[in-house]
Chains A and B, each alone.
Chain A
Amino acid sequence: MRKKLEFPFTKDKLKELRAGDEVLISGTIYTARDQAHKRLVEMIDRGEKLPFELKDSAIYYVGPSPARPGKVIGSAGPTTSYRMDTYAPVLLDLGHSVMIGKGQRSDEVKQAVVRNGAVYLAAIGGAAALIAKSIKAAEVIAFEDLGAEAVRRLEVEAFPAVVVLDTIGGDWYEEGRKSYLGEMERSAI
């Protein structure tokens, strides 16, 4: 079942999501990947004001390809999330609530997701030209020197993703595979 997720919203809305749900995201989300995460956490350590409000924010792990003239963004699929695992719990504990990427997360991240009532969504890795069509505006708001890794504010419309980690500890990478294998076993009998 496809659920609509329109930003901004508060964490209450996330409680309705379950691992395996397909969602369509609309509204404002931010981009940050490896180096941007490192810098955000360093800014937090120094007590500096961050380039965007962390509370109830969505961060998309992406380093888009450059926009062609007349386009808002280039291709923009998710990057592998585990490289952000060191930093994500710090951001989640400060109110950041929706992570969008692809691939498995560490136990520390899983615990921080449940502890904070947050979620982790996966976008389709490699489907970057398709995903770019749901991005309607993009603006670099911090760390311009990082190029593809800069922090951008994106306006998205019906951006497709799947819930991987939900607020009650569900993990779709485990459950999805298990239910497929279970079904195959049943149908083989």
Chain B
Amino acid sequence: MKELKAAEITEAVERLCIEANSYLGKDVKTRLSECMAAEPWPGAKSILGRIEENIAIAEKDFVPLCQDTGMACIFAEVGQEVHIVGGGLTDAINEGVRRGYTNGFLRKSVVADPIRRGNTGDNTPAHIHYEIVPGDNLKITVAPKGFGSENMSQIKMFAPAAGEEGVKDFIVDCVRSAGANPCPPIVVGVGIGGTFDRAALMAKEALLVPFDEKNPDPYYAEMEDELLEKINRLGIGPQGFGGKTTALAVKIKTFPTHIAGMPVAVNINCHVSRHREVVL
């Protein structure tokens, strides 16, 4: 049994919230440069150049890449040998979000009620997903999610007869109808299977997969490549002004499902695809 102090968790979450909003992962930066080199449309190339400039400024000045510093989506993998002392885990995480968004001058974008609104003033509560895993580590991933892209996400409960083509068409249509709204170039996270809620969760988790990590299932690895190519033939381009670079990556996660169903969820992220993690 390993003991972890709640205060230590709070500190880690505070730091991750601030860092995730200023520093993009190496995989995203590398993919952006590759796309810029391969972009045949001058206007699109120039937009990608501005995006790279923005990344450099955010890193150098340690300021948020985007003013929408998101709703804090947090994934916690809790080792079953971990014992948290000095407070509750959920409270510790929310306190970290509160401090990160306040001390880091991040935007407070969370309202207390979806219909009646009213800003909570400190960006809490976070959306937290827990998973119990073997071992004595606590892994925390902070993924601030902007809603310009979140609003363009979709879920559909297909009949199994829709098959592979139905799934692929839905994913491409989702990107087509989102158009310029989610700040392309985008990242497309897809969850297929499970239940209604599981599909949506997998779509969000897919956004955390490093771009250079190949899907372990060759069938889905090929589907990811095919979808990326199809999406980048739509012509939407960076910011929707036309061009090849509409998406940087398509990532798929799957889970066994019911004999009667085939849920498909598409979670869209913008080029500011942020996430930072720590293992305690």
**Which of A's residues lie within 8 Å of B, judged by CB?**
20, 35, 62-68, 74-77, 79-80, 82, 102-104, 122, 124-130, 132-133, 146-148, 160, 162, 172-173, 176-181, 183-184, 187
Docked Cα-Cα span, A91 to B47, in Å, equals 30
Interface residues of B in 54-71 (CB under 8 A from A): 54, 57-58, 61, 63-69
Q: Collect the chain A residues with CB atoms within 8 Å of residue B148's CB.
A: 79-80, 102-103, 125
Question: Which 6 pairs between the two chains have the least Cβ-Cβ distance?
Answer: A125-B183, A180-B242, A176-B242, A103-B181, A127-B54, A130-B54
Cβ of B61: which chain A residues have Cβ within 8 Å of it? 129
B271: A residues at CB distance < 8 A = 126
Tell which of B58, B181, B243 has the most Cβ of chain A within 10 Å: B181
Q: Residue of B at shortest CB range from A73? A: B67
Q: Is the CB of A66 within 8 A of B239?
A: no
Q: Which of B85-93, B100-108, B210-218 makes up part of the contact surface?
A: B100-108
* Interface size in chain B (residues, C-beta < 8 A): 46
Using a Cβ cutoff of 8 Å, how many contacts connect chains A and B? 147
Q: Which of B47, B108, B181, B270 contacts A147 (CB 8 A)?
A: B108
What residues of chain A lie closer than 8 Å to B121, measured between beta carbons? 147
CB-based contact B57/A103 at 8 Å? no
Q: How far is the CA of A172 from the CA of B241 in the complex (A)?
A: 7
B50 at the interface (CB under 8 A from A): yes
Task: Determine whether B113 belongs to the interface, using a CB cutoff of 8 Å to chain A.
Answer: no
| 10 A-B pairs with C-beta separation under 8 A | A62-B67, A66-B107, A79-B67, A82-B181, A102-B180, A122-B240, A128-B64, A132-B63, A176-B240, A177-B237
Q: Identify whether the interface residues of A are mostly helix, strand, loop, or mixed.
A: mixed
In the complex, A179→B63 CA distance in Å? 36
B interface residues (Cβ-Cβ under 8 A, vs A): 40-41, 43-44, 47, 50-51, 53-54, 57-58, 61, 63-69, 105-109, 117, 119, 121, 148, 151, 179-183, 235-237, 239-244, 270-272
CB <8 Å contact, A65 and B180: no
Contacts of B63 in A (CB 8 A): 65, 68, 74-75, 129, 132
Smallest Cβ-Cβ distance to B240: which chain A residue: A173
In the complex, what's the smallest C-beta–C-beta distance from A126 to chain B, in angstroms?
5
Inter-chain pairs besides A74-B63, A125-B183, 11 sampled, C-beta below 8 Å = A63-B107, A68-B63, A102-B239, A125-B239, A126-B65, A128-B54, A129-B65, A173-B180, A176-B240, A177-B235, A177-B237
Choice from B57, B107, B236, B240 contacting A64 with Cβ under 8 Å: B107
Q: Which residues of the other chain, B, contact A147 by a CB distance below 8 angstroms?
A: 108, 119, 121
- Closest CB-CB distance, A73 to chain B, in whole Å? 9
Cα distance A4–B15 when bound, in Å?
Answer: 41
Centre residue among B44, B47, B236, B240 by max chain A CB count within 10 A: B240
Chain B residues near A146: list those with CB within 8 A.
119
A79 touches B180 (CB 8 A): no
A173-B272 contact in complex given A104-B179, A129-B57, C-beta closer than 8 Å: no
Minimum C-beta distance from A110 to chain B (A):
14
B236 lies within 8 A of A177 (CB): yes
CB distance from B42 to the nearest CB of A (A): 10
**Shortest beta-carbon distance from A163 to chain B in Å:** 11
Say how far B272's CB is from chain A's closest CB, in angstroms: 5
In the bound complex, CA of A146 to CA of B69 (Å):
17
Residue from A68, A177, A178, A187 in contact with B105 in the complex, judged by beta carbons closer than 8 Å: A68
Chain B residues near A122: list those with CB within 8 A: 180, 239-241
- Chain A residues, Cβ within 8 Å of B69: 65
- Complex contacts, B181 vs chain A, CB 8 Å: 80, 82, 102-104
Pairwise interchain contact B242-A129, C-beta atoms closer than 8 A: no
Closest Cβ of chain A: how far from B52's Cβ, in Å? 10
Q: A80-B151, A124-B51, A126-B51 are in contact. Are A179 and B66 (CB under 8 A)?
A: no
Q: How far is the CA of A178 from the CA of B53 in the complex (A)?
A: 27
B58 partner residues in chain A, CB cutoff 8 A:
75, 129
Q: How far is the CA of A172 from the CA of B243 in the complex (A)?
A: 13
Chain A residues whose C-beta falls within 8 Å of the C-beta of B119 in the assembled complex: 146-147
Residue from B54, B64, B235 in contact with A180 in the complex, judged by beta carbons closer than 8 Å: B235
Shortest A155–chain B CB gap in Å is 18
**When the two chains form their complex, are residues B109 and A148 in contact, meaning their CB atoms are under 8 A apart?**
yes
A146 CA to B119 CA, complexed, in Å: 8
In Å, the complex CA distance between A62 and B109 comes to: 12
